[in-house]
Amino acid sequence: MSDYYHIVVCGGIAPDPLQTLEPVAGPALKNELMLPAVLDPWAAHALFEAAHLARSAPGSRVWLVSLSPKAKLQQVMMTIAQKAPFELVVVDGPSSGFTDSFDVAAAIAGAIENIAGLDRSRLLVFGGWESAARGAGTTMQMVGERLGIMDQFQGVDELKAEADGSLAILERIEGGRHQVSRCAGPPALLGWATGSLPEPPNQPQIGMANMRTIMPSLQRAKPAALPGDGIVFRKVALPRQQRDTRVVKDLPADAVAKEIVEWIRG
C-alpha cells in the first residue's frame, strides 16, 4: 500500500474500573491521587486499531494526545508503552469527568495543531466513541470541527483501507445494526466503539523505544488552562440505593408490571 497515514489518537486516563469511586466536594474523587489509573478503555481500542493500520501502511506515524495529570499519565504509560509504538503528546490537566467537553476539545485540538511534521492531508483522528471519564459523547465531534474535519464516523467497530485509498468503515446505527460507510480518504475522524482487535501483548522492546520520547514529552507538558477549573460543587454524593422487595407467588405478569409502574411513579 503506497498511502501512508498520520494517525492522532485522543485518549485520557481514568481510574481503574475495579476501584470503588466516591465523589467529594471540589469536584473530585476521594483519594483520587492514590487511585490506580488506566488508559480510557475506548481510547485504548482506538490506539490498538491505529497501530494495526499504521503497520499495514508503511511510512505511517501514530501520536497519542492526552489531556491528563502528567504524574498519573507517567504511571499509565509504563504499561501502555509496551502495547504499541506511538509518540506521546501531553497536555497537563484534569482527567475527571467534571470538565466541560467544549474546553477539553479546544485543548486537544490545539495540541494536535502544534504537532511538528503533521500532514493534515493524511490525517486520521481516532478516539473513543464513549469515555469512562468524559462520557459527554461530544468531545471528539468538537475536536473534528475545530480541525476542519467534516468526515466524521461514530460508533466504529472496524476500518479497512481499500486499494484505491478509500476507507470502508463499519459503523453502529440504531436498532443494534451496522452500516458500512465509505470515505474517499483522509482527513477523517473516527470515534471507536469496541474495535475488532484484541489487546496486544506486552512487548518490552516497543516499550523501551517509546519511553525514549515519552519521558521528554512528559517533561515538556504545558498546563491546560480550562475555564471550568474554577467551578466548585457544594455537595456531591453517590446515588442512593432504594430497595422495596415483595415475595409473591402466582401473580399474573400484567399485575406485576402494573405494580412496578405504580412503584416507579410513586
Per-domain residue ranges for the chain? 6-230
Q: Hey, what's the cell of 259?
A: 405494580
The C-alpha atoms of residue 218 and residue 150 are separated, in whole angstroms, by 31
Distances (CA, A) of 42 to 9, 36, 119, 130: 11, 18, 25, 6
Grid cell digits, residue 184: 474517499
Any idea which architecture 6-230 has in CATH? 3-Layer(aba) Sandwich (3.40)
User: Binning pLDDT at 50, 70 and 90, where does residue 199 land?
Assistant: confident
Contact 50, 127 (CB under 8 A): no
pLDDT at 232 over 80: no
pTM summary value: 0.80
pLDDT of res. 68: 87
**And the C-alpha cell for 190?**
473516527
Kindly tell me if the per-residue pLDDT of 69 is higher than 50.
Answer: yes
**Mean pLDDT, rounded, for 148-173:** 91
List phi, psi (to 5°) of 125.
-105, 120
Angle between helix 204-220 and 70-80 (nearest 10)? 170
CB distance 154 to 174 below 8 Å: no
Lowest-confidence region among 33-37, 167-171, 203-207: 33-37
Select the highest-mean-pLDDT range: 24-28, 48-52, 195-199, 250-254. Answer: 48-52
